[in-house]
C-alpha cells in the first residue's frame, strides 16, 4: 500500500501541520516520503535502489544506508545464534529465490530472513533517532512478528491443535522459539525508551490482530486436473529452467494460483486482455474453445456421480471462466472421475498450509502520565490510535474519524484538564512541495492485488 492511495492526512501530516515534532519509521503507506517535522523513513526504504523519495530529509540517506550495510553483515550471525537458522539453509533458499523452492521450510526461512532484516534496520534507525533526539515522538512499525507467526506457528502449536499435520518434528522443535525471539527483538526499542524515561513519556503499543492456528487449510492444485483433462500442456523441462513452463500453443485453460479469490477462475490465455481477443482468436474460435473447457470441466465428477465444478459464469473484464468447486467433498480418501478414469484426490491436495492465521483480537497497551494504571480496556480498535496520539499532543479530534480517544483508559484529572476537542475535519491529503507526482504503476499493481484479496472493491 503506497501513500498515493491515502485519501486523508496521515498522523504525521496532522502533527507536522500543527508544529508538533514527529518521526516515522517504516509505517504503512508512508512512501513516497513526505516532508515532515522530523525524519521519515518510508516503509519502502529497502527498495531505494529502484524507488525515489524513500526517506526525508534525503541528507539522511547515506547514514541510513551505512546502518543497513552493518545489519546485513551481522544478520546471519544473529539468525544462527538466536533463531537456530543456519547460513547453509539460507543459501539453499537463495538458489531458488525466484519463488521456485518446493520445500516450504526453505522458503519460510528466506521470507523470515528478509523481513527480519528490515526490522533489524528499523530498530537501529529508531535507536539513532532516539539518541539524536531529533524529535520527541517516534512512530515505529515492525513486521517480523507477523511473518514469524504466519510461518512458524505450526512449530509452536501442540500436536493435538495442529491436527497431527506436522510434517517434520525435527524442524518443528528446532524452530519452536522463532516467534518468541521475534517478539524479543521487537521489544528492544522499548528497552532503550524505558531507559531514558521521564514523567512525560507516553508509549502506545498496538498489534492490530493476534494469531491462532489455522487448522487444516488444504490447497488444491487445480492445474493438475486441467492437465489431466488435456486442457493444459507443459513444455518439457530443461536444465536452464528450473520450472516447467506452459506450452501455450497446446493449452486451452490455466489456473493462476497467485490470484486467490472466491471462485476458481480459468483463463484461456494469460495475455487475453492485453492482446485483444480479436487478434488472438476469432469470436467463433473463442466460443469453440470455451465450449471445450466447459464440457471437460463438467466431466469431472465425485465418486457419487455428481460434478465437482459448477459453472458460475464468465468474467467479461478478464475473459476468465468462473467455477465453484465443491471442495468440501475433497479429502485424501476421495476418488474423482476424470472422464472415465479414476483419479485419487490426494494427488491434488497440498496441505495443510503451514501458516498461523489472523484473529480479530489484537493488543493495545497505553502507558504514560495521562493513563490509568492496571486498567483493562473493554473495547478499543485500531481506529483509536490516531485520536489518542492527537489527544496526547493536545490537538482536537475530527468528526470524520472512525475511532475516538479511549476515555476509560484516561485518568479523570487528565481528562478534565484536557477534554477531547472536536473539529469538522483535518481535510484531504495534500501534496507537499517536496513531493512530486509519483508513478502510478506501482499503485495499480497494489490495487489489483487488494481487489483480488477482497480488501477493496
Ligand atoms: Zn499477517
Asked whether the beta carbons of 104 and 354 are under 8 A apart, the reply is yes
For residue 358, the CA-to-ligand 1 centroid distance in Å is 6
Strand partners, 367: 203
315 exposed, middle or buried (CB, 10 Å; 0-12, 13-18, 19+)?
middle
For residue 116, the CA-to-ligand 1 centroid distance in Å is 14
Grid coordinates standing for 114? 528478509
276-312 residue pLDDT tens: 443 455 667 778 888 999 999 999 998 888 898 989 8
With 80 as the cut, is the pLDDT of residue 196 above it?
no
Across 228-238, average pLDDT: 79
For residue 354, the CA-to-ligand 1 centroid distance in Å is 13
- What is the Cα–Cα distance from 199 to 423, expressed in whole angstroms? 29
For residue 355, the CA-to-ligand 1 centroid distance in Å is 10
The 10 Å Cβ neighbour count of residue 132 is: 10
- Residue scoring higher pLDDT (353 or 231): 231
Residues 6 or more apart in contact with residue 139 via CB below 8 angstroms: 11, 12, 22, 23, 24, 25, 27
Grid coordinates standing for 151? 510461518
Q: How high is the pLDDT of residue 432?
A: 60
Q: Which of 58-67, 103-112, 194-203 has the lowest mean pLDDT?
A: 103-112
For residue 230, the CA-to-ligand 1 centroid distance in Å is 37
For residue 420, the CA-to-ligand 1 centroid distance in Å is 33
Q: Pick from 118, 140, 114, 116: which is nearest to 127 by CA?
A: 140
With 60 as the cut, is the pLDDT of residue 175 above it?
yes
For residue 357, the CA-to-ligand 1 centroid distance in Å is 7
With 50 as the cut, is the pLDDT of residue 395 above it?
yes
Q: How high is the pLDDT of residue 136?
A: 80
- Grid cell 468440501 in the structure block, residue: 328
Q: How high is the pLDDT of residue 451?
A: 63
- Residue scoring higher pLDDT (165 or 77): 77
Q: How high is the pLDDT of residue 36?
A: 94
14-60 residue pLDDT tens: 999 999 999 999 999 999 999 999 999 999 999 898 888 999 999 99
| HSE, side-chain direction, 13 A CA sphere, residue 158 | 2
Across 340-344, average pLDDT: 85
Q: What is the residue-wise DSSP string for 55-91?
A: EESGGGHHHHHHHHHHHHHHHHHHHHHHH---HHHHH
For residue 145, the CA-to-ligand 1 centroid distance in Å is 9
Q: How high is the pLDDT of residue 132?
A: 82
Res. 272 pLDDT band, cuts 50 70 90? very low
For residue 146, the CA-to-ligand 1 centroid distance in Å is 5
For residue 306, the CA-to-ligand 1 centroid distance in Å is 37
Kindly report the CA angle at 36 between 34 and 39, in degrees rounded to 5? 95
The 10 Å Cβ neighbour count of residue 161 is: 13
252-269 residue pLDDT tens: 888 876 665 667 887 766
For residue 188, the CA-to-ligand 1 centroid distance in Å is 21
For residue 287, the CA-to-ligand 1 centroid distance in Å is 41
Q: How high is the pLDDT of residue 237?
A: 62
Asked whether the beta carbons of 345 and 329 are under 8 A apart, the reply is no
For residue 144, the CA-to-ligand 1 centroid distance in Å is 10
Q: How high is the pLDDT of residue 274?
A: 38
For residue 189, the CA-to-ligand 1 centroid distance in Å is 22
- What is the Cα–Cα distance from 185 to 33, expressed in whole angstroms? 26
Q: How high is the pLDDT of residue 391?
A: 93
For residue 194, the CA-to-ligand 1 centroid distance in Å is 28
User: Average pLDDT over the chain, rounded to whole?
Assistant: 80
For residue 147, the CA-to-ligand 1 centroid distance in Å is 6
Across 167-209, the runs of DSSP E, i.e. the strands, are: 202-207
Domain extents for the chain?
A: 3-215+354-452, 219-350
- What is the Cα–Cα distance from 91 to 99, expressed in whole angstroms? 14
For residue 209, the CA-to-ligand 1 centroid distance in Å is 8
For residue 150, the CA-to-ligand 1 centroid distance in Å is 6
For residue 151, the CA-to-ligand 1 centroid distance in Å is 10
- What is the Cα–Cα distance from 264 to 253, expressed in whole angstroms? 12
Q: How high is the pLDDT of residue 94?
A: 46
- What is the Cα–Cα distance from 141 to 119, expressed in whole angstroms? 8
Query: Which residue pairs, CB below 8 angstroms and at least 24 apart, start in 253-262?
Result: 253/226, 253/293, 253/321, 254/223, 254/226, 255/222, 255/223, 255/226, 257/219, 257/221, 257/222, 257/223, 259/452, 260/452, 260/453, 261/452, 261/453, 261/454, 262/454
For residue 20, the CA-to-ligand 1 centroid distance in Å is 32
Grid coordinates standing for 289? 474453445
With 60 as the cut, is the pLDDT of residue 161 above it?
no
Residues 6 or more apart in contact with residue 127 via CB below 8 angstroms: 189, 192
For residue 359, the CA-to-ligand 1 centroid distance in Å is 10
Across 407-413, average pLDDT: 92
For residue 353, the CA-to-ligand 1 centroid distance in Å is 14
pTM as predicted: 0.69
Amino acid at each position: 500500500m503506497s501513500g498515493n492511495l491515502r485519501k486523508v492526512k496521515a498522523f504525521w501530516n496532522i502533527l507536522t501541520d500543527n508544529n508538533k515534532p514527529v518521526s516515522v519509521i517504516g509505517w504503512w503507506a508512508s512512501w513516497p516520503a513526505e516532508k515532515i517535522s522530523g525524519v521519515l523513513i518510508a516503509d519502502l526504504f529497502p527498495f531505494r535502489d529502484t524507488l525515489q523519495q524513500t526517506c526525508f530529509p534525503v541528507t539522511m540517506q547515506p547514514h541510513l544506508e551505512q546502518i543497513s550495510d552493518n545489519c546485513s553483515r551481522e544478520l546471519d550471525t544473529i539468525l544462527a545464534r538466536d533463531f537456530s537458522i543456519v547460513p547453509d539453509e539460507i543459501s539453499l533458499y537463495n538458489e531458488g529465490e525466484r519463488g521456485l523452492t518446493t520445500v516450504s521450510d526453505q522458503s519460510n526461512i528466506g521470507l523470515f530472513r528478509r523481513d527480519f532484516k528490515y526490522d533489524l534496520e528499523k530498530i537501529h534507525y529508531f535507536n539513532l533517532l532516539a539518541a539524536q533526539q531529533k524529535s520527541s515522538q517516534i512512530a515505529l512499525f515492525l513486521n517480523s512478528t507477523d511473518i514469524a507467526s504466519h510461518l512458524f506457528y505450526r512449530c509452536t502449536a501442540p500436536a493435538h491443535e495442529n491436527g497431527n499435520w506436522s510434517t517434520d518434528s525435527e524442524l518443528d522443535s528446532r524452530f519452536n522459539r522463532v516467534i518468541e525471539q521475534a517478539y524479543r527483538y521487537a521489544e528492544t526499542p522499548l528497552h532503550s525508551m524505558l531507559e531514558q524515561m521521564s514523567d512525560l513519556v507516553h508509549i502506545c503499543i498496538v498489534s492490530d490482530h493476534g494469531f491462532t492456528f489455522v487448522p487444516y487449510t488444504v490447497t488444491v492444485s487445480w492445474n493438475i486436473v486441467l492437465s489431466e483433462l488435456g486442457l493444459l500442456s507443459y513444455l518439457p523441462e530443461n536444465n536452464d529452467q528450473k520450472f516447467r513452463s506452459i506450452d501455450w500453443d497446446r493449452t486451452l485453460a490455466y489456473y493462476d494460483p497467485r490470484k486467490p479469490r472466491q471462485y476458481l477462475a480459468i483463463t484461456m490465455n494469460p495475455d487475453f486482455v492485453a492482446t485483444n481477443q480479436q487478434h488472438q482468436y476469432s469470436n467463433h474460435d473463442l466460443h469453440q474453445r470455451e465450449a471445450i473447457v466447459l464440457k471437460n470441466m463438467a466431466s469431472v465428477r465425485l465418486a457419487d456421480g455428481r460434478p465437482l465444478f459448477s459453472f458460475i459464469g464468465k468474467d467479461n473484464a478478464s475473459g476468465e471462466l468462473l467455477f465453484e468447486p465443491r471442495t468440501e467433498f475433497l479429502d485424501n480418501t476421495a476418488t474423482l472421475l476424470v472422464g472415465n478414469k479414476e483419479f485419487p484426490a490426494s494427488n491434488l491436495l497440498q496441505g495443510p498450509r503451514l501458516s498461523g492465521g489472523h484473529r480479530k483480537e489484537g493488543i493495545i497497551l497505553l502507558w504514560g502520565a495521562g493513563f490509568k494504571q492496571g486498567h483493562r480496556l473493554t473495547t478499543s480498535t485500531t481506529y483509536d490510535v490516531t485520536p489518542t496520539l492527537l489527544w496526547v499532543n493536545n490537538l482536537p479530534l475530527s468528526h470524520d474519524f472512525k475511532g475516538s480517544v479511549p476515555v476509560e483508559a484516561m485518568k479523570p484529572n487528565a481528562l478534565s484538564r484536557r477534554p477531547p476537542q472536536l473539529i469538522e475535519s483535518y481535510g484531504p491529503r495534500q501534496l507537499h512541495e517536496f513531493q512530486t507526482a509519483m508513478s502510478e504503476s506501482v499503485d495499480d499493481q497494489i490495487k489489483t492485488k487488494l481487489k483480488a484479496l477482497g480488501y477493496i472493491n
